[in-house]
Chain A
Amino acid sequence: MTVIHERESNPAAGDADRPIGYGRIQRKEDPRFVRGKGHYIDDLVLPGMLHGAILRAPVAHARLVSIDTTNALAHPKVLAVITGKDLEGLKLAWAPTLSADVQAVLVTDKVRFQGQEVAFVVAEDRYAARDALELIDVEYDVLPPLVDARKALDADAPLIRDEIEGRTDNKIFDWEMGDAAETDAVFASADVVVSQEMVYPRVHPAPMETCGAVADFDAVNGKLTLYETTQAPHAHRTLFAIVAGIPEHKIRIVSPDIGGGFGNKVGIYPGYILAVVGSIVTGRPVKWVEDRSENLMSTSFARDYIMQGEIAATKDGKILALRTNVLADHGAFNATAQPTKNPAGFFSIFTGSYDLQAAHCKVTGVYTNKAPGGVAYACSFRVTEAVYLVERMVDILARKLEMDPAELRLKNFIKPEQFPYANKTGWVYDSGNYEAAMRLSMQLAGYEDLRREQLQKRAKGELMGIGISFFTEVVGAGPRKHFDIVGLGMADGAELRVHPTGKAVVRLSVQSQGQGHETTFAQIVAEELGIPPENIDVVHGDTDQTPFGLGTYGSRSTPVSGGAVALVARKVREKAKLIAAAMLETRPEDLEWEKGRWFVKGDPTAGKTIEDIAMAAHGTMTLPEGVDGNLDAEVTYDPPNLTFPFGAYICVVDVDPGTGHVKVRRFIAVDDCGTRINPMIIEGQVHGGLTDGVGMALMEIIEFDADGNNLGGSFMDYLIPTAMEVPDWETGFTVTPSPHHPIGAKGIGESATVGSPPAIVNAVVDALAPFGVVHMDMPCTPARVWAAMQGRATPPI
């Protein structure tokens, strides 16, 4: 059921501003952040700590001839210089990636992308470490680079992974979903078919805090404590056990406050491994924190998809089928962080929000001489690319049919009664009411008025565009039987302890990078148990203190760990019921629950609060048989299905006809993430994602020149929106709970990043309609928009 209004905030007794449970409350993490008392990786100082710095390759493709570290080692403050050869001796030169490939930790044979790790210096301070990099002499034999993914499979393409026995080409995988024959048949008989090539350029999540680690290896006890910027501490622990050969019980991963992640902090980067090696070699803690150029040039990029899309429809606008061929540039190593069976992530959700007869996609992944990565930047495992493809194709179809793009979408949406809806590529959408969200968005935007205004402006030669995007996301992986990362099933644990005085601690496997986990998860426990959020401590980010789980990415924290936390709280509630029954000398089945209290049915005065029960659980009373003397519980939640958040976005742009400059005037975002826990935090997640969308649509891109030089290697060249490029966001929402989720929540972290770029590009293309522009690729920079106006729109790569 879809409810189009704010959920009641379940106020505590008489205090509407401090709900016990869901509702708008201030974040529990904010008091430390506003005082400058957050604790990020570079704030950590351990006694005797050393500093590491990485020497990186200046070229994209080169045979390594020699490395001379003599002068660097002679620097009075340098303790160690580690090269690929040293790592070979330790069997650490190559590390497994999250996609069943291997990645060089330090170059041993040849450089495969500009910025690749060549040597690691460990010194007394970071200034000395930086100085010593200049004292290392490296000789390279430069090879022709493979920069253009379109040429990766040519017979004469340079072979990038020649170290792999028997490899003769640069193909990583071919992957298909949907029924090709069925789709071709529908296309063959369709009235209208339109096709378009579109590029989703390489971009970078670029969190404000770069990646870093402090490794502290205790040689006496054989224990490694690794503080690192990771969104997935438990998965990292297991992988470090595999990579470094340290027994897993001797590894503790601690993820401190993280200054933004957006997927950038999922992977295991050579720098983390090198910090560990540095600590083992020197016997002292070693800190490594990348600078901004290292971040932009070597750690996970995102996207880089060249997509050929085709859409088939009847002449009156019934969409019949979609198909696409994708060329995916994965860089020099296949190091994307995504489920094992999904080399293109969840791209097969490209059927979008529409009821189709057939669909087929084929994705081919290739190696190039660029940094590895591919799944990052809040993409929900490639849903970003999928939504962009379908929402652009639908707009192109609308133009072809001369239909209003809103009308075309409304005509083709999956209807509420069709849920759960099985699409043509194997997904079962849990719930949705797309038309309600679309109509709300149009109403908030004043859609008809905007179209009228556009007509008037066009008559005067002014360029105004209105763009729509309607997205369906797929987030919250597992189920574990379908989804794993390097064999680790995607399920999350949660532990809850209620102390004798009724205060609680909940321990999570996921890790916040700013999403407000300490607040949201406390609110879930509060909603279930009636303990005020301020009396619930949320512990996360330390593998020694938290249960196993796969981490925060793909918008999975609320769908998976949120489910785990609700269930563990319910487990505690059921245990409390048994204890309360004993206290009240009645049978458990005679008790009724109201928030924070079990009471006797028909006699509300006879009850026990959760505080009373907690004290009794730890006290001296005789507990019912089988009930332990505590009020604790733990669960591992294996979601039965993914969740499918959706939203209807409308963007209004003005384009300067003389310069091609695009101004985003308005942006209306209606989101449906199911049950809403903290509307303030949800709104913040949406705002941030919309800003990402403006960035990608208008300015963000990592380009390479013909020699493979990275042209986006600093914030002078990699542009991120400021407060001046974004409007005052207008948000609305509908609520369609997930039927299978313990609290009906669907996740919101990436919806806006996924949904907004096509709305903006659709608006720009709409503005340029008088010039006959049907498509232009991102980023819509002034120069590129002007070229499109001249009929010379070109792909960015």
Chain B
Amino acid sequence: MQISMTVNGNEVTSEIEPRVLLVHYIREVLGLTGTHWGCDTSNCGTCVVLMDGQPVKSCTVLAAMAAGHDIRTVEGLAAGTTLDPVQQGFMEEHGLQCGFCTPGMMLTARALLDKNPHPDDGEIRQAISGQICRCTGYATIVRSVQWAAAHPAAAGGGEGADEVLDGTDTVVADVATETEDSEVKA
């Protein structure tokens, strides 16, 4: 069957079997291998992409069902060479280790911040609770999302972005100090 959808802003059209899973369509037909898969039962969330702005598990959506919809993958997070604040946050706060769950985590974080620009830690944990990370222990992912929340235009470039950076640097410094304190209390 023929399907068309928008992927990272580009219109794509393909001839596929109806049973092709969205994750396979993205990875193998479109060659966007930043979306990974980790289970067969929609439990791990490694395959999360945004469908019309909402996180979905692309191993449990048929490509045919995504036809006509707007799909965003990790490759569509950055604006050209400018990283999304979430991407920057994951680098700043060590929100990733092996990198396998990272695309899904970042997309969920992006969707969360679009809806709730200043989530508390509990809301972040709740938002990513359908996605498993085997490396980080989640705390640094929470910090990464908080970094992005504190730097909404961090990676946006230009003078305006610099101003925002200046304004929020203090917040980050406070967080860092707290962390340091807890490490050096002796």
Contacts and interface: CB of A to CB of B under 8 A. Distances in A.
Verify whether A and B have any Cβ pair under 8 Å: yes
Interface of A: 4-6, 26-27, 29-40, 42-43, 127, 206-210, 257-260, 262, 291-293, 440, 443-444, 513-516, 679-681, 683-684, 686-692, 714-716, 720, 722-724, 726, 728-734
16 contacts: A30-B91, A35-B34, A35-B83, A36-B35, A208-B100, A209-B100, A443-B185, A514-B135, A688-B136, A714-B40, A714-B43, A723-B129, A728-B139, A732-B183, A732-B184, A732-B186
B18 to A, nearest CB: 12
Nearest to B105: A723
B141 A723 contact: yes
B173 to A, nearest CB: 12
B60 to A, nearest CB: 12
Nearest to A441: B186
A513 to B, nearest CB: 6
B134 A207 contact: yes
Contacts of B83: 34-35
B139 A208 contact: no
A26 B92 CA distance: 6
A36 B19 contact: no
Interface in B60-95: 73-75, 77-78, 83, 87-88, 90-92, 94
B87 A34 contact: yes
A720 B134 contact: yes
B117 interface: no
Contacts of B137: 684, 686-691, 726, 729
Contacts of B19: 127
Contacts of B185: 440, 443-444, 732
Contacts of A732: 182-186
Contacts of A733: 183
Contacts of A726: 137-139
A729 B139 contact: yes
B136 A40 contact: no
B186 A443 contact: yes
B58 interface: no
A729 B180 CA distance: 13
B183 A731 contact: yes
A34 B109 CA distance: 13
B132 interface: yes
Nearest to A257: B99
Contact of B96 (A6, A30, A39, A262): A30
Interface of B: 17, 19-20, 27, 32-41, 43-44, 46, 73-75, 77-78, 83, 87-88, 90-92, 94, 96-103, 106, 121, 124-126, 128-142, 180, 182-186
A5 B181 CA distance: 10
A310 B8 CA distance: 62
A27 B94 contact: yes
A691 B138 contact: yes
A723 B121 CA distance: 10
A2 to B, nearest CB: 10
Given A127-B19, A714-B40, A715-B41, A209 B98 contact: yes
Contacts of B77: 34-36
B67 to A, nearest CB: 19
Nearest to B90: A34
Given A257-B99, A715-B43, A729-B139, 4 more contacts: A208-B44, A722-B128, A729-B137, A732-B183
A259 B33 contact: no
B29 to A, nearest CB: 11
Given A127-B19, A731-B183, A292 B140 contact: no
Contacts of B35: 36
Nearest to A729: B139
Contact of A440 (B130, B140, B186): B186
A292 B75 contact: no
A33 B139 contact: no
A259 B91 contact: no
Contacts of B106: 34
A688 B91 contact: no
A223 to B, nearest CB: 26
A667 B160 CA distance: 41
Contacts of A27: 91, 94
A688 B134 contact: yes
Given A29-B99, A722-B130, A35 B78 contact: yes
Given A29-B99, A259-B98, A260-B98, A722 B132 contact: yes
A33 B94 contact: no
B55 to A, nearest CB: 14
A288 to B, nearest CB: 15
A711 to B, nearest CB: 14
Contact of B38 (A29, A210, A689, A692): A210
A34 B134 contact: no
B140 A687 contact: yes
Nearest to B101: A208
Contacts of A40: 33, 36, 100
Contact of A34 (B43, B46, B91): B91
A439 to B, nearest CB: 8
Contacts of B141: 723
A625 B36 CA distance: 55
A26 B91 contact: yes
A35 B74 CA distance: 6
Contacts of A729: 137, 139
A516 B140 CA distance: 15
Contacts of A688: 97, 134-137
A42 B44 CA distance: 17
Contacts of B88: 34
The winner among A206, A260, A680 for most chain B CB atoms within 10 A is A260
Contacts of B102: 33-34
